Amino acid sequence: MDLKDPKLSEWKRFFKSFIYAWSGITQTFKSERNFQIHVSISFIMLIVGMILGFTTFEWVLLLFLLGGMLSLELINTALEHVVDLITPDYHPLAKAAKDAAAGAVLVYAFLSVIIGVIIIWSHLKLFL
């Protein structure tokens, strides 16, 4: 039974879509080392935020960055699966697609680290 089954009520369809989405997250967590690293960093940053007493704005920014990072990693994984499904052999377009998606994750991760360092530094310099 899937989401296209006409016998499924709208609510059941809605509820099932959450179950499928959660399954995508847990499967990615089990199989993707980078996703595990990003989840660990997210937890560490939440603890750092509590210890340093982030402001409301900093919390909003942090949650936005962490959510964006995890979502991007999930999309990158989805794209890798689709590319592998289309061609298990070496193909320049497969390489271009995977490298571009990996580049998107890298850009977001790099900027997130810079913003994270700026926020943490603004708190630490109060103690120095």
Ligand X SMILES: Nc1ncnc2c1ncn2[C@@H]1O[C@H](COP(=O)(O)OP(=O)(O)OP(=O)(O)O)[C@@H](O)[C@H]1O
* Contact call for residue 95 and ligand X (CB under 6 A): yes
Q: Which phi and psi (to 5°) does residue 66 adopt?
A: -65, -45
- The verdict on whether 73 is a catalytic residue reads yes
Identify the residue among 40, 71, 87, 122 touching ligand X (CB under 6 A): 87
Residue-wise burial string across 2-38, b where 16 or more C-beta atoms lie within 10 A, e elsewhere: eeeeeeeeeeeeeeeeeeeeeeeeeebeeebeebeeb
Q: Segment contacting ligand X (CB under 6 A): 15-23, 59-67, 98-106, 117-125?
A: 98-106
Of the two residues 48 and 94, which places its CB atom closer to ligand X in the complex?
Answer: 94
Closest CA to 69 of 33, 26, 112, 30: 112
Footprint (CB under 6 A) of ligand X, residues 6-35: 32, 34
* Contact call for residue 81 and ligand X (CB under 6 A): no
Active site residues: 73
Using CB under 6 A as the criterion, which residues of the chain lie in contact with ligand X when the complex forms? 32, 34, 80, 87, 90-91, 94-95, 98-99, 102
